[in-house]
Amino acid sequence: MSTRLRIALVIVGTLAALGALTVVAVLAFDLHVLVQMLLDPQSIVEGVVDEYLSANPHVPELRADDPLLKSRKILITSNINEFTANEVAARLLYLSAVDPRRPIDLYLSTQGGWVDSAFTIIDAMDLIEAPVNTWAIGGCYSAGALILAAGTGRRYATADAVLMVHASLDEDTKRPYSYERLALERYERVWRDRAALPEDWFPLVGDEEYYLSPDEALQFHLIDEIVPVSSDKENPPPRHQAMKRTP
């Protein structure tokens, strides 16, 4: 075999080896990324949900003959997401425009959801003139409990309700100009201004979940009143018997 041929074979072999190593490195990197995404699937879920919501725009239906609208009631029984925020904010703005003095009742039975969507509802409550009474019925968790505590009127829970405060932010909140920093600041601001959570719960990071009975929610000032559930529907207890928050 000539020297020139041997050199050519060495070069070809080296290039093939480098190519193989490159492929292995790329596959290893992609596998590492895939493993990380599977360990923390929130980014995948967010992308899927955002794409779905973008592809399926939804216009709230506001009808004057809607029995709930006529009685100035809004019911949330789904997750807090862009659809929910759109629907609820539109109804809040509509009812306040119809009568800015009469209270609006917002009933919450939800597993929680997106914090940004929760703040769309909270901001709408703060912007309108009509007071918004919030009610925890069934299970009121995470973003739902945040909206409950941020009510601008009276805040109620039924005697059978279960509430949950979620320390859902677990990213680096000290990094300058990060979303996580701002998200934690506004999240904790609501809890500090409109409730009295134990100080050792702060900062609200680490994915901790704190489940509360109505009595505990009253103690921590998430609500102002517990409304008894009467077994005698013919003769319900007068409203003044409801348990109220002590100063």
What pLDDT score was predicted for residue 78?
A: 92
Please count the other Cβ atoms lying within 10 Å of the Cβ belonging to residue 232.
7
**Residue 129 structural domain:** 55-229
Query: Which CATH number does the domain housing residue 88 bear?
Result: 3.90.226.10
Active site residues per annotation: 142, 166
In this predicted structure, the answer to whether residue 241 has a pLDDT above a threshold of 90 is no
In this predicted structure, the answer to whether residue 81 has a pLDDT above a threshold of 70 is yes
77 domain residue, yes or no = yes
143 domain residue, yes or no = yes
Residue 142, by phi and psi: left (phi above 0), alpha (psi -120 to 50) or beta? left
Which SS3 state, helix, strand or coil, does residue 227 take?
strand
What pLDDT score was predicted for residue 175?
A: 74
Q: If pLDDT is split at 50, 70 and 90, which confidence band does 242 have?
A: very low
Q: If pLDDT is split at 50, 70 and 90, which confidence band does 230 have?
A: low
Closest residue by Cα to residue 109 from 158, 41, 58? 158
Out of 8-12, 68-72, 95-99, 197-201, pick the least confident.
8-12
93 vs 239: which has the higher pLDDT: 93
24 domain residue, yes or no = no
In this predicted structure, the answer to whether residue 80 has a pLDDT above a threshold of 60 is yes
| Residue range 133-192, pLDDT digits in tens | 999 999 999 999 999 999 999 999 999 999 999 887 666 556 778 888 888 889 999 999
What pLDDT score was predicted for residue 137?
A: 97
136 domain residue, yes or no = yes
What pLDDT score was predicted for residue 62?
A: 67
User: Which residues, at least 6 apart from 203, have a Cβ–Cβ distance to it below 8 Å?
Assistant: 167, 173, 184, 188
Q: What is the pTM of this model?
A: 0.71
Rg (alpha carbons) of the chain, rounded to whole number: 26
What pLDDT score was predicted for residue 24?
A: 61
12 domain residue, yes or no = no
| Structural domain count, the chain | 1
32 domain residue, yes or no = no
124 domain residue, yes or no = yes
128 vs 201: which has the higher pLDDT: 128
2 domain residue, yes or no = no
| Residue range 30-67, pLDDT digits in tens | 565 555 555 555 555 555 555 555 555 566 666 766 88
Which SS3 state, helix, strand or coil, does residue 162 take?
strand
